[in-house]
Amino acid sequence: MTNTWLIASNNRGKSQDLAACLAYYGLTAVQYTDVADRLTFPAETTTSYVDNAVIKAQYAAQHLQRAVIADDSGIELPALPAAYGVTTARDLGVAVSGYDRNQALLAALADTPLANRQATMRATLAAAWPDGTVVTAQATIQGYLARHQIGQYSGGFDRLFWLPRFGRTLAELPDSWRLPLTHRGQAAAQLCQQLQLKKG
């Protein structure tokens, strides 16, 4: 199989989070730019998380001639049905910082009561090899969007994503609690299980 996987992303924060999720389940991964020159990935033009992740993973695996893992994720908001979801990065802009993205989201929901601030975060992971083989995994987490950013253990949407059963945002939970709960963490668990079966 492979000892160290490369994460096919130019987003340092997302790569670090995914690496932590994979490490939680025993898989070692690093951002591909740690070992290779920066790639220009194909533009995301589909409305499918799976297609976006697979296209990115296969592109990187072919160019790097290494086994890679790619992620496509987004946040889905019933209160804003025409925005976000699979186009989250496109709607908010990939060059905008996580803090500013969250502020834009809070502004869009400024007049929405908490009861109507339901949210789902969805992640799809695709592992690809240079020969074109692909394995995928998907997972979601459901909660509400808080009215303010809070939490020091992680960034991005975790600082807004409030879980009623904990009474905290994801970013207020240490990694030992947070990683198995997140959409990306759950997808990483499924992917690692599939890769172990494939290896066996």
* Active-site choice (72, 100, 131, 175): 72
- Determine contact, residues 169/163, Cβ cutoff 8 Å: yes
**H or E segment at 79?**
none
- The 3-state DSSP class for residue 142 equals strand
Which residue carries 């172990």 as its tokens?
196
Nearest 10 degrees: CA dihedral of 104, 141, 176, 27?
Answer: -100
> How far apart (Å, rounded) are the C-alpha atoms in residues 183 and 200?
26
Task: Clarify whether 72 is annotated catalytic.
Answer: yes
| Catalytic residue IDs | 72
